[in-house]
């Protein structure tokens, strides 16, 4: 993409309404525009990152054997009356009527809708286990929407629902989700720690939230510092292997880690030596639940078991805050000049900065670099505007592309360009072909 033809409405001023760094940078980098309180338009740069995050979620869901589909955002109140949540959900649910006076709502989550699809089509235990999911817009009329996409009213969520014959099978589905979420967040460059939490309006008493540690997080958290040494890495997992998934769950959840809703100070002190006790803040980027037969019983979602009896299925639901993740990633990865995207989610793989636009040799070298990167399947952003170098560097730093290739007449005389890491600020001179090869290699590694 040529920057001169792109739509990147970068702001020079720091917007006064933005209280935290991720919100400030998302506005300044032209990623989002507030449409109304807690509702955002996704401008091209923000949309690209949102899609990258969504793609990682889909890839990891597929790896775990879960099946994607799509539900409507507007749902009939009658379905929600069956589970009792139409009256129970409270003011966060946005309700409306159509021209015939029928009650509708904008889905804040979709347990009822998925349970309804399940009960319509599935009859036998032989069709289980089954996990269906979607990535879809949700609406919650939050009393205090704030921090941009962190606590929106309209937000993008991955929500998955498992249907199993027994509690034991459903707990395996729970563990499978925990394992696949660990991988998902790590691919986005995040450490998200599973912590014991409250279940709230979703229900059930078995749930973990995934928290990214950050001073600006809305949740208070208490944990054993040893937990921050754990990484999932690229270990091979067989998602059908019950013992293997259970072992990962135990590895990642046996140490004390709780949000303030479930924190127990006496237990904390008895389980964790004083020098390892941490009290901090975190951003909730996901939550998994096992709630048994809560929805299947009230909505009649049963299957025939091996003995021919009709039994309600055991269920859980599992969510990832896809749009919130942009904020969480920026909170975890930025400096005073702007965002630093992890390679896994970056909107462009690298920037190309032409120090002397209009100089025939520099222009040709930039165009050749751009073409070779594209030929390798990469997506560069070439700043071809007739601007001062300082301004171009400031834009690249703000929008946070992990790598920048700088091209100028002086370097070209010696046959070199400069490759700079956004994260370390370190630069290295090398021939253009070598810079292209290095970038290709970095992303091959990031995708492996």
Query: Is the CB of 157 or the CB of 340 nearer to ligand P5A?
Result: 157
Counting residues that bind ligand P5A (by CB under 6 A) gives: 19
What is the rounded CA–CA span in Å between residue 221 and residue 211? 9
Do 70 and 136 contact (CB within 8 A), yes or no? yes
From the list 60, 112, 116, 159, which residue makes contact with ligand P5A (rule: CB under 6 A)?
159
Which regions of 82-216 does DSSP assign to beta strands (E)? 94-97, 103-106, 130-139, 154-164, 193-196, 206-213
8 Å CB contact between 134 and 58? no
Least distance to ligand P5A, CB of residue 204, Å: 10
Which stretch in 40-48, 121-129, 264-272, 283-291 sits in contact with ligand P5A by CB under 6 A? 283-291
Could you tell me the smallest distance in angstroms from the CB atom of residue 108 to ligand P5A? 7
Q: Which of 147, 155, 223, 295: binder of ligand P5A (CB under 6 A)?
A: 155
CA dihedral of residues 208, 212, 218, 221 (deg, nearest 10)? 60
Choices 155-163, 212-220, 294-302, 370-378 (CB under 6 A): range interacting with ligand P5A = 155-163
Nearest to 114 by CA among 174, 161, 165: 161
317 binds ligand P5A (CB under 6 A): yes
284 is an interface residue for ligand P5A by CB under 6 A: yes
Identify which of residues 263 and 422 has a Cβ nearer to ligand P5A in the complex: 263
Query: Does residue number 261 form part of the binding site for ligand P5A (CB under 6 A)?
Result: no
Instruction: Give alpha helix (H) positions in 315-424.
Output: 322-332, 360-375, 389-399, 409-413
- Asked whether position 318 contacts ligand P5A by CB under 6 A, the answer is yes
Q: Could you tell me which stretch among 152-160, 240-248, 302-310, 398-406 binds ligand P5A (CB under 6 A)?
A: 152-160
Q: How far is the CB of 164 from ligand P5A (least distance, A)?
A: 16
Nearest-angstrom CA–CA distance, 96 and 80: 14
Instruction: Answer whether 365's CB lies under 8 Å from 312's CB.
Output: no
What backbone phi and psi angles, to 5 degrees, belong to 412? -60, -30
Residue from 24, 28, 48, 140 binding ligand P5A (CB under 6 A): 140
Structure tokens at 241: 């292997």
The answer to the question of residue 164 lying near ligand P5A (CB under 6 A) is no
Q: Which of 54, 82, 141, 142 binds ligand P5A (CB under 6 A)?
A: 142
- By beta-carbon proximity to ligand P5A, the closer residue of 200 and 409 is 200
Task: Report the residue number whose CB is nearest to ligand P5A.
Answer: 321
Site string for ligand P5A, 4-43 (x = CB under 6 A): ----------------------------------------
**Residue 259 lies near ligand P5A (rule: CB under 6 A):** no
Among 129, 152, 189, 402, binds ligand P5A (CB under 6 A): 152
* Cα–Cα separations (whole angstroms), residue 129 to 203, 236, 312: 21, 22, 13
On the question of a cis peptide bond just before residue 129, with omega within 30 degrees of 0, the verdict is yes
Contact region with ligand P5A (CB under 6 A), list: 14-22, 60-68, 242-250, 280-288: 280-288
Judged by CB under 6 A, the stretch of 54-62, 221-229, 284-292, 392-400 that binds ligand P5A is 284-292
Q: How many CB atoms lie within 10 A of CB 208?
A: 26
Closest CA to 346 of 52, 32, 28, 21: 52
Should residue 217 be labelled a site residue for ligand P5A when binding is judged by CB under 6 A?
A: no
Residue 222: φ, ψ to 5°: -130, 125
Query: CA 187 to CA 344: how far, in whole Å?
Result: 6
Interface residues for ligand P5A in 323-362 (CB under 6 A)? 323-324
**Exposed e or buried b per residue across 155-187, where buried means at least 16 C-beta atoms within 10 angstroms of its C-beta:** bbbbbbbbbbbeeebbbbbbbbbbbbbbbbbbb
Contact letters for ligand P5A, residues 107-136 (x by CB under 6 A): --x---------------------------
Query: Minimal CA–CA distance to 397: which of 22, 43, 46, 25?
Result: 25
| Binder among 189, 203, 286, 351 for ligand P5A (CB under 6 A) | 286
Q: Which of 46, 189, 319, 344 contacts ligand P5A by CB under 6 A?
A: 319
**Is the CB of 285 or the CB of 435 nearer to ligand P5A?**
285
Nearest to 153 by CA among 193, 106, 209: 106
Which positions lie near ligand P5A, rule CB under 6 A? 109, 140, 142, 151-152, 155, 157, 159, 202, 284-287, 317-319, 321, 323-324
């Amino acid at each position: 993409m040529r920057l001169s033809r792109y739509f990147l409405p970068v702001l020079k001023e720091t917007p006064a309404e933005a209280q935290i760094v991720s919100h400030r940078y998302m506005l300044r980098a032209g990623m989002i525009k507030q449409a109304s309180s807690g509702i955002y338009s996704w401008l091209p740069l923000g949309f690209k990152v949102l899609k990258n995050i969504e793609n990682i979620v889909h890839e990891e869901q597929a790896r775990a054997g879960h099946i994607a589909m799509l539900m409507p955002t507007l749902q009939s109140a009658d379905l929600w009356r069956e589970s009792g949540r139409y009256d129970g959900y409270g003011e966060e649910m946005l309700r409306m009527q159509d021209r015939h006076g029928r009650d509708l709502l904008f889905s804040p989550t979709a347990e009822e809708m998925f349970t309804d699809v399940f009960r319509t089509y599935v009859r036998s235990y032989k069709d289980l286990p089954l996990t269906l999911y979607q990535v879809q817009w949700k609406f919650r009329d939050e009393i205090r929407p704030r921090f941009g996409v962190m606590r929106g009213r309209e937000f993008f969520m991955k929500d998955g629902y498992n249907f199993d014959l027994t509690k034991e099978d459903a707990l395996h589905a729970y563990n499978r989700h925990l394992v696949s979420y660990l991988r998902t967040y790590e691919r986005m460059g995040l450490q998200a720690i599973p912590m014991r939490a409250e279940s709230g309006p979703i229900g059930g008493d078995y749930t973990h939230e995934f928290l990214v540690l950050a001073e600006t997080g809305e949740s208070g958290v208490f944990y054993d510092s040893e937990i921050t040494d754990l990484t999932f890495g690229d270990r091979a997992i067989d998602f059908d292997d019950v013992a293997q998934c259970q072992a990962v769950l135990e590895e990642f959840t046996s140490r004390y880690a709780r949000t303030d809703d479930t924190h127990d100070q006496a237990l904390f002190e008895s389980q964790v030596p004083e020098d390892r006790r941490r009290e901090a803040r975190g951003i909730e980027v996901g939550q998994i639940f096992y709630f048994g037969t809560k929805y299947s019983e009230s909505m009649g979602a049963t299957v025939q078991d091996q003995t021919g009896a009709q039994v309600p299925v055991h269920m859980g639901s599992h969510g990832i805050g896809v749009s919130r993740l942009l904020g969480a990633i920026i909170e975890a990865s930025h400096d005073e000049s702007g965002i630093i995207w992890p390679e896994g989610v970056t909107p462009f793989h690298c920037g190309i900065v032409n120090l002397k636009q209009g100089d025939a040799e520099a222009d040709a070298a930039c165009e050749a670099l751009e073409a070779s990167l594209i030929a390798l399947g990469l997506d560069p952003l070439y700043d071809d505007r007739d601007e001062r170098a300082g301004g171009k560097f400031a834009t690249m730093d703000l929008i946070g592309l992990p790598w920048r290739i700088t091209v100028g007449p002086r370097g070209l005389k010696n046959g070199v360009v400069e490759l700079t890491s956004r994260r370390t600020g370190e630069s290295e001179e090398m021939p253009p072909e070598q810079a292209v090869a290095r970038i290709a290699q970095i992303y091959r590694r990031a995708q492996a």
